[in-house]
Chain A
């Protein structure tokens, strides 16, 4: 079992453990709009995204950055509050739209979704789908245990 610890910047506190889901940039508004309107939010419904039809529930989302609408953060918050969002987020660069989801979830709903970025090693070289991660948003670290 190989273990690597990446060091970066914690943007939202808390500790979460789970399986990594590595993917491309996400427009959370595009991903969740239909689910929010129908009241049956669970999966990503953006047909242009590789995770179309999949859920982030229970996963640690590893992706470069969020794109698109300014409603991205409020859409992510909805997924987090409904329990179908990621347990933690590891990315390269965090903007306000993405950060708003986890920060407002913490302040208003006491739900912790740690966010870590600016890691000392490229997370896309180091982390693969299914790796077991421990994300510490207080210390800004990501512990990676390789799958298999």
Chain B
């Protein structure tokens, strides 16, 4: 593998032993993966805090790097914690996540931005067009590639960490122009398309695209930042989609031709009302009969607009006794919601507004056996759940029935 003069100096220890060790690891990964070279990165995002705080192997690596004097060289943020112990609204932390782990302190020493969100591109670590990044969290990777035009692969955990310290990653995949062209044309022909339908569109797209890049036409008018976030998260769950184009909307697709890099689609798929309806049915894998225990929204974290919109639906209503309503978002949106009285509306309705992770919480006892409903395509893929739009989720939380 070709290394630049600076990279050779880093390997020789000129920037300290932590950078040397981090880069040595990246070079071994790059050689194993047959990469021609490395690429300088401008940011990292670290994932899966819930799991990592129990991984002695991971924690030992972080400690070793800190002992060698490591700090992150590029803006580096972190994924949500399962619940938010500082927030009285938060559900209680399951036993599996209780007890202290040195990891949170280590991240502070490394100077990781404590934004605790799966939407760092909205709060705390906002990339710009053309930047090369080493990010974890598949829903964030697809958003920054597609909507922002930054460049990132679905980075394996561990690589995000050493990349943050060395400011380099392996030059491969979506870092390379050639690999960012659209491959599959997806025509959306849905009557009365709603922003709410985007999670289901993404859910279907992931299944038909696998690892390929779709070019999606017909959704331009309803494509808010929130709906694009929800569509991408679902596509990155049911498939390994890391990028999409929307002609006339996303930055690398000013036209249909440009979206395909002036080439032709290898495949054309159509999403009509029938496909959408069938997909929504498939997203509901839980029993439909009987009541529900938890309605959980905000996976990925709700945008502020989504928080405001659910508060409008909840105003003056009451969540049914025995049912929990979780609304997960980043701390920036929580601050705004408090400022505007929106948080109070949610609280009075019996909802919990907190910066946690629905998936992490619902994976373990006591929540894992509870009957769950969500508006998230990602949650509906990973957990046994019922799917509903935001409006349907609120109605279910109030009635206790789906």
Q: A interface vs B, CB < 8 Å?
A: 11-12, 29, 33, 36-39, 70-75, 77-78, 80-82, 94-97, 99-100, 103-109, 115
Contact A97 B156 (CB under 8 A): yes
Q: When the two chains form their complex, are residues B51 and A36 in contact, meaning their CB atoms are under 8 A apart? A: yes
Contacts of A11 in B (CB 8 A): 32-33
Known contacts A74-B157, A96-B33, A108-B64; 19 additional CB pairs below 8 A are A11-B33, A12-B28, A36-B54, A39-B54, A70-B138, A71-B48, A72-B156, A73-B157, A73-B158, A78-B58, A80-B57, A96-B29, A96-B153, A99-B156, A100-B156, A103-B25, A104-B57, A105-B57, A108-B60
Min CB gap A90→B, angstroms: 14
Check if B159 is an interface residue, CB within 8 A of chain A. Answer: yes
Q: Which residue of A lies closest to B32 (CB)?
A: A11
- A95–B29 alpha-carbon span in the complex (Å): 10
Q: Is A36 touching B55 in the complex (CB atoms < 8 A)? A: yes
Is B136 among interface residues, defined by CB-CB distance under 8 A? Answer: yes
Distance of A112 from chain B, by nearest CB (Å): 12
Given A78-B58, A96-B33, A107:B25 Cβ within 8 A: yes
B51–A37 touching, CB < 8 Å: yes
Q: Shortest CB–CB separation between residue A67 and chain B, in angstroms?
A: 9
Bound together, the chains give a CA A25 to CA B47 distance in angstroms of 23
Contacts of B96 in A (CB 8 A): 37-38
Residues of B within 8 A of A71 (CB): 47-48, 51-52, 157
**Residues of B within 8 Å of A, CB-based: how many?**
32
- Contact A78-B55, Cβ < 8 Å, known A71-B48, A94-B33, A107-B21: yes
Cross-chain pair count, CB within 8 angstroms: 102
Q: In the complex, are the beta carbons of A103 and B60 less than 8 A apart?
A: no
Binary interface encoding of chain B residues 111-138 relative to chain A, with 1 for a CB under 8 A from any of its CBs, else 0: 0000000000000000000000000101
* Given A11-B32, A96-B33, A100-B29, CB of A77 within 8 Å of CB of B51: no
Contacts A37-B54, A80-B57, A107-B21 given; does A70 touch B156 at CB 8 Å: yes
1/0 per residue B16-40: CB within 8 Å of A? 0000010011001100110000000
Mark interface residues in B174-213 (1 if CB within 8 Å of A CB, else 0).
0000000000000000000000000000000000000000
Interface members, chain B 154-174 (any A CB < 8 Å) = 154-159, 170
Main secondary structure on A side of the interface with B: helix
CA of A113 to CA of B319, assembled, Å: 53
Give the distance to chain A from B175, nearest Cβ to Cβ, in Å: 13
15 pairs from A and B in contact (CB 8 Å cutoff): A36-B51, A36-B55, A38-B96, A70-B154, A74-B156, A75-B55, A78-B56, A82-B56, A95-B33, A96-B33, A96-B155, A96-B170, A99-B156, A100-B29, A104-B61
- Check B268 for interface membership: any CB of A closer than 8 A: no
Instruction: Assess whether A109 is in contact with B57, with CB atoms less than 8 Å apart.
Output: yes
In the complex, chain A residues whose CB is within 8 Å of the CB of B158: 73-74, 77, 100, 104
Give, as a whole number of angstroms, the nearest-CB distance from B284 to chain A.
20
The chain B residue sitting closest to A104, CB to CB, is: B158
Contact partner of B364 among A37, A97, A103, A104, CB < 8 A? A37
Which of A72, A75, A94, A109 sits near B32, CB closer than 8 Å? Answer: A94
A94–B363 Cα distance when bound, in Å, is 29
Binary A-proximity of B343-375 (CB < 8 A = 1, otherwise 0): 000000000000000000001100000000000
| B60 lies within 8 A of A100 (CB) | no
Q: Which residues of B contact A105 (CB under 8 A)?
A: 57
- Give the residue name and chain of the B residue nearest to A108 (CB): B61
Are A100 and B55 in contact, with the CB atoms below 8 A?
no
